[in-house]
Amino acid sequence: MNIDGKEITITHPEKVLWPDAHITKLDYVRYLIEVSDYILPYTKDRMLMYWLYPHGLNRLKVEKRSLPANAPDWIPSTFYKGKERIILNDLATLVWLGQYGALELHVPFDQYTRPNHPTDLVFDLDPSTDDFDLVLKIALELKGVLDGMGLKSIPKTSGKSGLQVYVPVRPEYPFEQTRKVNKFIADYMLEKLPKKITLDRVKKRRGNRLYFDYLQLWKGRTMAVPYTVRATKHATVSTPVTWQEVQHGFKPTDFTMDKVIQRVKDYGDLFRPDEMMKKRNNQHLTEIVDFIKSRT
């Protein structure tokens, strides 16, 4: 393939990456090209973490953060803690990653150009059972709390079993402050729904309660990129959804590669809906930060 003047050879294009969904490497690369305009805004200037499955989906995964030695010299990168890290800013790099076998794309909450200042608050709703209806109900409860604080939010599926709620904010609050805001909201949610959610990271102590993860928002930790495919049986995609869809109900398996391609054609980028254009990365937390500080 010739991508923006870069020659990329797709080796073994017929290789089946998702056996149950009958998706080949070439299918995957074509998907990445199709949705590149929706992925790249959320990977821009962020140090990439990606997963490889060299022996298939049912075998061990390999987490990669460093630039491979055999990577083309045109791949954007930056040095961090003595290692060269990929910066996913362009289509050619995205296609190369597909060719390389990066089946999942994850990024940190901050950009390397402005480190330690996340662009979003994020809450990861991780169910302990197969009851996805509980996930949807908790998400709506969280939306109500965020609305009450004057914060606009956007939900997206994790691409696996959960749902993530993003609150775009101005990147002027360090992780130490955003973590306090996250904890304040999580503590309130736990007080409100003690029988339905838990803040306990230890799985065996959760029972049937949903894990309300507010701790993922931290330095060096990552979250699945919007529109990235996940290494699941059905090749499900981490997909932005509307709050109306959350209200109506759905399952994570409703969002697969082929369906998401059609979805973005029909609806555009729901992670940046029209009413959020002015709010994305422009919401202030100062009053909330000051209120929390006054309580301690």
Predicted local confidence at residue 278, as pLDDT: 61
Rounded percentage of the chain residues whose pLDDT exceeds 70: 98
Please determine, for residue 273, whether its predicted confidence score (pLDDT) is greater than 80.
Answer: no
Q: Please, what is the average pLDDT of the chain?
A: 95
Residue 48 · residue 87 · CB < 8 Å: yes
Quickly count: other Cβ atoms within 10 Å of residue 234's Cβ: 16
Q: Please name the CATH architecture into which domain 2-108 falls.
A: Alpha-Beta Complex (3.90)
What pLDDT score does 111 carry?
A: 97
More confident residue, 144 or 60: 144
Instruction: Flag whether pLDDT at 275 surpasses 70.
Output: no
Three-class secondary structure assignment of 236-289: EECCECCHHHHHHCCCHHHCEHHHHHHHHHHHCCCCCCHHHCCCCCCCCCHHHH
Q: What's residue 55's pLDDT?
A: 83
Amino acid 296: pLDDT: 77
Residue that the structure tokens 């491979």 belong to = 68
Q: Distance (Å, rounded) from C-alpha 225 to C-alpha 45? A: 13
Answer yes or no: are the C-beta atoms of 169 and 283 closer than 8 Å.
yes
The CA-to-CA distance between both ends of the chain, in Å, stands at 58
pLDDT at 272: 86
Q: Is 249 left (phi over 0), alpha (psi -120 to 50) or beta?
A: left
Question: Taking residues 197-221, what's their average pLDDT?
Answer: 95
Domain 120-217+238-253+267-294: which CATH number of 3.40.920.10, 3.90.920.10, 3.90.230.10, 3.40.50.920:
3.90.920.10
| pLDDT tops 70 at residue 234 | yes
pTM above 0.85, yes or no: yes
Give the pLDDT confidence score for residue 281 in this predicted structure: 76
214 vs 45, 121, 124, 144, CA distance in Å? 24, 9, 7, 17
Q: Is 293 exposed, middle or buried (0-12, 13-18, 19+ CB in 10 A)?
A: exposed
% pLDDT > 90, the chain: 93
Question: Which pLDDT band holds residue 14 (cuts at 50, 70, 90)?
Answer: very high
Q: What per-residue confidence (pLDDT) applies to 295?
A: 87
Strand partners, 2: 7
Summarize pLDDT for 93-115 with one digit per residue, the tens: 999 999 999 999 999 999 999 99
Give residue for tokens 């709390």.
145
User: What number is the average pLDDT over the span 130-149?
Assistant: 97
Output the pLDDT for position 211: 98
Q: What are 54-85's pLDDT values in tens digits?
A: 888 888 899 999 999 999 999 999 999 999 99
> Is 279's pLDDT higher than 90?
no
Predicted pLDDT at 60 = 86
The boundaries of every CATH 3.90.920.10 domain in the chain are 2-108, 120-217+238-253+267-294
pLDDT score, position 116:
97
pLDDT score of 58: 80
Q: Say what the alpha-carbon torsion angle 236, 239, 243, 246 is, to the nearest 10 degrees.
A: 10
Which of 94, 102, 12 minimizes the C-alpha distance to 52? Answer: 102
Q: Is residue 151 very low, low, confident or very high in pLDDT (cuts 50, 70, 90)? A: very high
Per-residue confidence (pLDDT) for residue 274, from 0 to 100:
62
Is the pLDDT assigned to residue 226 strictly greater than 90?
yes
